[in-house]
A and B are shown apart, each in its own frame.
Chain A
Amino acid sequence: MAELKTDHLVLNMGPQHPSTHGVLRLEVVLDGEVVIDVIPHIGYLHRCFEKHCEAMTYPMVIPYTDRMDYLASMYMNFGYVEAVEKLMNIEIPERVKYIRVIMGELQRIASHLVAIGTFGIDIGAFTPFLYCFRDRERILDLFEMTCGARLLYNYMWIGGLSHDLPPMFIPELKSFLKDFRKNIKELNDLLSYNKIFIERTANIGILPADTAINYGCTGPVLRGSGVNWDLRKNDPYSIYDRFDFEVCVGKGEIGTVGDCWNRYMVRVREMEQSCLIIEQAIEQLPEGDVTSAIPKRVKPPVGEIYFRVESPKGELGYHIISDGTVNPFRVKVRAPSFVNLQILPVISKGYLVADIIANLGSLDIVLGEIDR
């Protein structure tokens, strides 16, 4: 009898696959159900964002930033406009600062809700996804009320905002926050502390703190590994130093620090902290005109700036070089998802096929931001 040859199986996941979170392609090398290697292939959503910016004026870049992390467009705006303002030395009104923080934190909740919901789907629980989307819908309603758009807002402008808050915004926001606290509890009962969910996520894809730092991971991925690093606290920008909130890190009360469950739980806890920040911001919200500081002509002086903010996915950095004209000479973005995705092969090796999906879900990547 001829000798039988065994070989690894190469499975191609994506770019069209129900759980690659967009157009990511994973080349998975398998030995039975055990993962030998994972090779992510990106670039299916490349839209030349950075090159495009060079042909645009500064305000015209803002809609493009919307389309990077389309689940956190407000925060993408936030980072860009703050960077340009700093480059131009514009002092913006207090009201604008507060509204930006409120919008940014609402967007963080919305983004985390999508992350949590889709993570639930990856694990096989469909219902929590729709519960998350129910709450996200109310946030989108608030955004729609303010600027008319539900996904790509173009809301924050250089030096101000496109619209002031409508009169019903604050009462609606307050009632949302009240309901949302209850819904987080419901989510914890349904998903976070579900036995099967814990079995599937605890001790899976353990990312040690030093590896996370070496790979440059940021955001909930880094904090899930127990590293206390949040730019809102460690390098405060805008007015985040005025608010009292905690940085959530993975504590490992279930599973190990740095596993999928802890990364997931960091997001759940961050949503509560965001609620706290929003509540404080509503209390302190001053009156004023949100469009008064918008410059007629955006023409920063020659120079360059690197400005970083803590987006829902991690450290979002804008490196803008100005040559003194109305168009930026170069806009480089440090996208948190891009950096976080690198870790996927590292944490997936040796686990099973189903765990790749869990790991990918717990990293919470958005391809729009990775490919730009």
Chain B
Amino acid sequence: MISDQLAEILGNKIIAYLITAAIPLFLFLVPYALYAVYAERKVSAFMQDRIGPNRVGPKGLLQTIADILKLIQKEDIIPKSADKPIFVMAPYVVFMGTFAAFAAIPFSSVFIGSNINLGVFYIMAVSSFSVIGILMAGWAGNNKYSLYGAMRSVAQIVSYEVPALLAIVSAVMVIGTLNLNEISEMQTARFWNWWIFGGPLQGIQKFLLIVPMLVAFVIFFVASLAEVNRTPFDIPEAESELVAGFHTEYTGMKFAIFFLAEYGNMFVVSAISTAIFFGGWQSPFGYLGNSFSIPLLVPIEQVFWFLFKSLSLVLVQMWLRWTLPRLRVDQLMAVCWKYLTPYAFVNLVLIGIISLI
């Protein structure tokens, strides 16, 4: 663990942990968000027979940086009738919920911000913290559209926690730990040891687990799409109805922070799916570092594989966004309570029975 080695060098555990937890923020989150926005625009352009950004820098690579610079320069408008302290605080609460989740994401076997035993639980808990920020933003703006957006958002996120957690719980029942690093470690060697293919179990049990695990993954993925407000569940910010939903009144950097949080959230849910169902940082075919006996290469490869898998799932989310129309608010609730939650329960029982065999 990098954090332990740092603690030895610095002689102070708390500072070492703080530094390791901050590394993903500066080294990963900001560049990721910048290029995820760029990628989203390029992906949508590709799907829609357009060119996409191509003016700023080679192939438009600096477009988002230019956009951020523009947003920083913008006037920071706080509406007269807004509830000022709450209005100012809201974007940071939303962002905090997202970024706090990054602390427990295992990027490789030696790098995890905070290797806690309740990793899965912790991430699910802090990432739903952003609901409070969204409600604050919607209420403080003193705008009817914002309020509608916030109300919808809270109803949606709170409802979809249920199937998402049930899907995770059913997977965790067989896995037997909540520590994301240990979960990743289990799914070692080859890709058929990933939990989505029944994990490292043997015989009939592994075979029986494949379908329920697949179902658990799909339920989790659909529910997490709703939790991060992406199409087809982007009802809180449904442009054609609610202008921009809960962040209608925000400008400049505050708006950018909501944006950053959205993309951060997309990565967090993809990272959880990767760690639990797709082998985390494990390579699907073994490591080049091992075969050429360069042990230092292994953690770098692990980071590569983890990012590769998570970003592929982010790409799937983008792909869905540019293909599907949006559900209506009552249909959204119907999907959650009439389909996902009952299926998640059935799946939970099924996996429970299989794990007893």
Interface positions, chain A 168-200, Cβ under 8 Å from B, are: 190-191, 194, 196-197, 199-200
Binds A, one of B29-37, B114-122, B326-334: B326-334
Q: How large is the interface on A (under 10, 10 to 19, 20 to 34, 35 or more residues)?
A: 20 to 34
Q: List 20 A-B contacts (CB under 8 A).
A: A11-B144, A11-B145, A18-B239, A19-B241, A33-B330, A123-B325, A124-B232, A126-B44, A127-B322, A130-B50, A131-B49, A190-B323, A196-B232, A196-B326, A199-B327, A199-B328, A200-B328, A352-B330, A354-B241, A357-B241
Contacting residues, chain A, for B231 (C-beta < 8 A)? 124
Indicate if B356 sits at the interface (CB-CB under 8 A): no
What DSSP secondary structure best describes chain B's contact surface? loop
The answer to whether A123 touches B241, judged by C-beta atoms less than 8 angstroms apart, is no
The answer to whether B144 touches A357, judged by C-beta atoms less than 8 angstroms apart, is no
Indicate if B324 sits at the interface (CB-CB under 8 A): yes
Q: Give the distance in Å from the alpha carbon of A255 to the alpha carbon of B234 in the complex.
A: 25
* Cβ-defined partner of B49 (8 Å) among A124, A130, A196: A130
Distance between A129 CB and nearest chain B CB, rounded to angstroms = 8
* Cβ-defined partner of B48 (8 Å) among A9, A11, A131, A355: A131
Contacting residues, chain B, for A134 (C-beta < 8 A)? 49
Kindly list 16 other residue pairs between chains A and B, CB separation below 8 angstroms, not including A19-B240, A125-B326, A127-B323. A11-B144, A17-B243, A18-B239, A18-B243, A123-B240, A123-B326, A124-B234, A124-B238, A124-B325, A196-B325, A196-B326, A200-B326, A200-B331, A352-B329, A352-B330, A354-B329
Contacting residues, chain B, for A196 (C-beta < 8 A)? 232, 324-327
Q: Give the distance in Å from the alpha carbon of A322 to the alpha carbon of B44 in the complex.
A: 54
Indicate if A121 sits at the interface (CB-CB under 8 A): yes
Contacting residues, chain A, for B50 (C-beta < 8 A)? 130
Distance between B156 CB and nearest chain A CB, rounded to angstroms = 13
Indicate if B47 sits at the interface (CB-CB under 8 A): yes
Contacting residues, chain B, for A197 (C-beta < 8 A)? 325
Known interface pairs A17-B243, A18-B239, A130-B49; A125-B329 also in contact (CB < 8 Å): no
Indicate if A353 sits at the interface (CB-CB under 8 A): yes
Indicate if A226 sits at the interface (CB-CB under 8 A): no
Indicate if A122 sits at the interface (CB-CB under 8 A): yes
Q: Give the distance in Å from the alpha carbon of A131 to the alpha carbon of B243 in the complex.
A: 23
Contacting residues, chain B, for A120 (C-beta < 8 A)? 325
Distance between B240 CB and nearest chain A CB, rounded to angstroms = 4
Contacting residues, chain B, for A18 (C-beta < 8 A)? 239-240, 243
Q: Give the distance in Å from the alpha carbon of A11 to the alpha carbon of B243 in the complex.
A: 12
Contacting residues, chain A, for B325 (C-beta < 8 A)? 120, 123-125, 191, 194, 196-197, 200
The answer to whether B144 touches A194, judged by C-beta atoms less than 8 angstroms apart, is no
Known interface pairs A127-B48, A130-B48, A131-B49; A354-B238 also in contact (CB < 8 Å): yes
Q: Give the distance in Å from the alpha carbon of A196 to the alpha carbon of B235 in the complex.
A: 13
Distance between A317 CB and nearest chain B CB, rounded to angstroms = 32
In the complex, residue of chain B having the shortest beta-carbon distance to the beta carbon of A354: B328
Q: Give the distance in Å from the alpha carbon of A120 to the alpha carbon of B240 in the complex.
A: 10
Distance between A341 CB and nearest chain B CB, rounded to angstroms = 18
The answer to whether B328 touches A355, judged by C-beta atoms less than 8 angstroms apart, is yes
In the complex, residue of chain A having the shortest beta-carbon distance to the beta carbon of B330: A352
Q: Give the distance in Å from the alpha carbon of A124 to the alpha carbon of B238 in the complex.
A: 7
Distance between A8 CB and nearest chain B CB, rounded to angstroms = 12
Interface positions, chain B 275-332, Cβ under 8 Å from A, are: 322-331
Binary B-proximity of A130-143 (CB < 8 A = 1, otherwise 0)? 11001000000000
Q: Give the distance in Å from the alpha carbon of A19 to the alpha carbon of B148 in the complex.
A: 17
The answer to whether A357 touches B324, judged by C-beta atoms less than 8 angstroms apart, is no
* Closest 4 A/B residue pairs (Cβ): A124-B326, A19-B240, A125-B325, A130-B48
Binary A-proximity of B230-262 (CB < 8 A = 1, otherwise 0)? 011010001111010000000000000000000
Contacting residues, chain B, for A199 (C-beta < 8 A)? 327-328, 331
Contacting residues, chain A, for B232 (C-beta < 8 A)? 124, 196
Q: Give the distance in Å from the alpha carbon of A120 to the alpha carbon of B322 in the complex.
A: 12
Known interface pairs A131-B48, A354-B241, A357-B240; A126-B328 also in contact (CB < 8 Å): no
Q: Give the distance in Å from the alpha carbon of A140 to the alpha carbon of B331 in the complex.
A: 39
Distance between B152 CB and nearest chain A CB, rounded to angstroms = 8
Distance between A359 CB and nearest chain B CB, rounded to angstroms = 12
Binary B-proximity of A61-98 (CB < 8 A = 1, otherwise 0)? 00000000000000000000000000000000000000
Known interface pairs A127-B47, A354-B238; A9-B329 also in contact (CB < 8 Å): no
Distance between A128 CB and nearest chain B CB, rounded to angstroms = 9
Contacting residues, chain A, for B243 (C-beta < 8 A)? 17-18
Q: Give the distance in Å from the alpha carbon of A286 to the alpha carbon of B322 in the complex.
A: 46
The answer to whether A122 touches B240, judged by C-beta atoms less than 8 angstroms apart, is yes
Q: Give the distance in Å from the alpha carbon of A82 to the alpha carbon of B285 in the complex.
A: 74
